[in-house]
């Protein structure tokens, strides 16, 4: 029963229609311009949704434009080399999305005649497409009446319905999806979904929502109870672990030593300088770790040089301090396995390979130095 969990105020059809009308009027005045809102091409809409998963609009915008220029159609994407796709994804993070996108493009060409499916079930069968993305593509591209729940709409719906329990987890998600479904119009679902999301992004913000600018406070249980800052209930925060890692730029006659990240590793499929956890404190101990780890990962023997730079960055729940050393090769030979290949790469070719952001920073640094 879709309305079982819905707040009392939203059980009345007239109430829901009034809410939608106010929301759409507000959206008409305040909607932002975005690259993917200028097209109805299902391929581009799907691409934008994958790109926007856990990624800000500001970050995705420029990447989207460049990506579409490189792969204008699903056929272009399906025919592309995965390395090219990863290269275009560089800097966006969650690189599994790029691999899934590429795999899904092949499925769409092979099984759907190059057309994005219209129905939620078929969309969800594609790699990287969950219930949110399926609903987004179906409603935005085809105006199918499918609900969406992502971080914005989840927050808006929790507040509208005055849902005080934990929203992450089975019961909470059921409630939110039921509310999304209950409010969904039978026509114009795409615009309505966009409007609800936009309200969450611009007005119904995580902290200190601008209720004075909100078009639907009359329908909002959280506003009525003064609970806007208590709803939705925040998830337990994950604790961050500090990690120290080392990476080495090994040079040999104008080339540098790279290895490709193996399946199951972080940054799978992308290229990186030899990189590993660093345990030792003293310079001699570190020096030994560099020699041993480079040898183990690549088969190459090195003579470590000075510290080139230190980069601090975060990867999900890890806070990483990365020490980057220079070194020169003294012997050994590259060993590539099935899972991970190793190669000596000319500096001029670094621009063609997909690198992690840290590896790209180092590549830029050593390329400028010459």
Catalytic residue ranges = 49
Give me the 48-87 binding string for DNA, x by CB under 7 A, dash otherwise.
xx--xxxxxxxx----------------------------
**Least distance in angstroms from the C-beta of 12 to DNA:** 29
Closer residue to DNA in complex, CB, 195/257: 195
- 95 near DNA, rule: CB under 7 A: yes
CA–CA distance, 46 with 116 (Å, rounded to integer):
8
Interface region with DNA, contact rule CB under 7 A, candidates 72-80, 184-192, 211-219, 311-319: 311-319
- 272 near DNA, rule: CB under 7 A: no
Interface region with DNA, contact rule CB under 7 A, candidates 3-11, 150-158, 279-287, 345-353: 150-158
Which of 122, 151, 309, 340 is in the footprint of DNA by CB under 7 A? Answer: 151
- 210 near DNA, rule: CB under 7 A: no
- 313 near DNA, rule: CB under 7 A: yes
Contacts of DNA in 15-34 (CB under 7 A): 34
CA–CA distance, 225 with 247 (Å, rounded to integer):
54
- 357 near DNA, rule: CB under 7 A: yes
Closer residue to DNA in complex, CB, 108/302: 108
Interface region with DNA, contact rule CB under 7 A, candidates 219-227, 237-245, 290-298, 341-349: 237-245
**Least distance in angstroms from the C-beta of 218 to DNA:** 23
Contacts of DNA in 316-345 (CB under 7 A): 316-319
Q: What is the 3 state secondary structure string of the chain?
A: CCCCCCCHHHCCHHHHHHHHHHHHHHHHHHCCCCHHHCCCCHHHHHHHHHHCCCCCHHHHHHHHHHHHHHCCCHHHHHHCCHHHHHHHHCCCCCCHHHHHHHHHHHHHHHHCCCCCCCCHHHHHCCCCCCHHHHHHHHHHHHCCCCCCCCHHHHHHHHHHCCCCCECCCHHHHHHHHHHHHHHCCCCCHHHHHHHHHHHHHHCCCCCCCCHHHCCCHHHCHHHHHCCCCCCCECCCCCCCEEEEEEEEEEEECCEEEEEECCCCCCCCCCEECCEEECCCCCHHHHHHHHHHHHHHHHCEEEEEEEEEEEEEEEECCEEEEEEEEEEEEEEECCCCCCCCCEEEEEHHHHHHCCECHHHHHHHHHHHHHC
Interface region with DNA, contact rule CB under 7 A, candidates 124-132, 218-226, 293-301, 344-352: 124-132
CA–CA distance, 122 with 144 (Å, rounded to integer):
13
Closer residue to DNA in complex, CB, 21/96: 96
- 170 near DNA, rule: CB under 7 A: yes
Which of 43, 67, 71, 132 is in the footprint of DNA by CB under 7 A? Answer: 132
**Least distance in angstroms from the C-beta of 284 to DNA:** 28
Give the residues lining the site for DNA (CB under 7 A): 34, 36-37, 48-49, 52-59, 91-96, 100, 127-134, 136, 150-152, 155, 169-170, 194, 197-198, 200-201, 206-207, 234, 237-238, 240, 266-267, 313-319, 356-358
């Amino acid at each position: 029963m879709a309305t079982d969990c819905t707040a009392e105020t939203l059980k009345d059809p007239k109430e829901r229609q009034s809410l939608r009308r106010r929301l759409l009027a507000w959206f008409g005045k305040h909607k932002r311009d975005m690259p993917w809102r200028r097209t109805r091409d299902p391929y581009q809409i799907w691409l934008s949704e994958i790109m926007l998963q856990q990624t800000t609009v500001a970050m995705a915008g420029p990447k989207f434009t460049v990506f579409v220029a490189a792969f204008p159609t699903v056929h272009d994407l399906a025919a592309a080399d995965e390395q090219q796709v990863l290269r275009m994804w560089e800097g966006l993070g969650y690189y599994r999305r790029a691999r899934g996108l590429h795999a899904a493009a092949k499925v769409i060409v092979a099984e759907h005649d190059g057309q994005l499916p219209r129905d939620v079930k078929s969309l969800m069968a594609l790699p990287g497409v969950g219930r949110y993305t399926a609903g987004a593509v179906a409603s935005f591209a085809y105006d199918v009446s499918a609900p969406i729940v992502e971080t914005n709409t989840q927050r808006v719906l929790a507040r509208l319905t005055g849902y005080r329990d934990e929203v992450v987890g089975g019961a909470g998600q059921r409630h939110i999806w039921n509310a999304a479904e209950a409010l969904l119009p039978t026509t114009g679902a795409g615009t309505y979904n966009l409007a609800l999301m936009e309200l969450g992004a611009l007005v119904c913000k995580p902290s200190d929502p601008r209720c004075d600018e909100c078009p639907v406070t009359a329908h909002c249980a959280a506003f009525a109870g003064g609970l806007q800052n208590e709803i939705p209930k925040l998830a337990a925060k994950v604790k961050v672990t500090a990690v120290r890692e080392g990476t080495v730029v090994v040079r040999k006659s104008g080339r540098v030593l790279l290895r490709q990240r193996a399946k199951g590793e972080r940054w799978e499929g992308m290229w990186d300088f030899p990189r590993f956890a660093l345990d030792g404190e003293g310079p001699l101990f570190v020096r030994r770790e560099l020699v041993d780890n480079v040898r183990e990962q690549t088969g190459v023997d090195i003579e470590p040089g000075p510290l080139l730079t230190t980069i601090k960055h975060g990867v999900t729940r890890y806070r990483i301090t990365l020490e980057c050393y220079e070194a020169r090769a003294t012997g050994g030979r590259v060993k590539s396995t099935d899972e991970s290949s190793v190669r000596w790469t000319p500096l001029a070719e670094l621009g063609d390979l997909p690198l992690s952001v840290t590896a790209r920073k180092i590549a830029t640094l050593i390329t400028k130095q010459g």
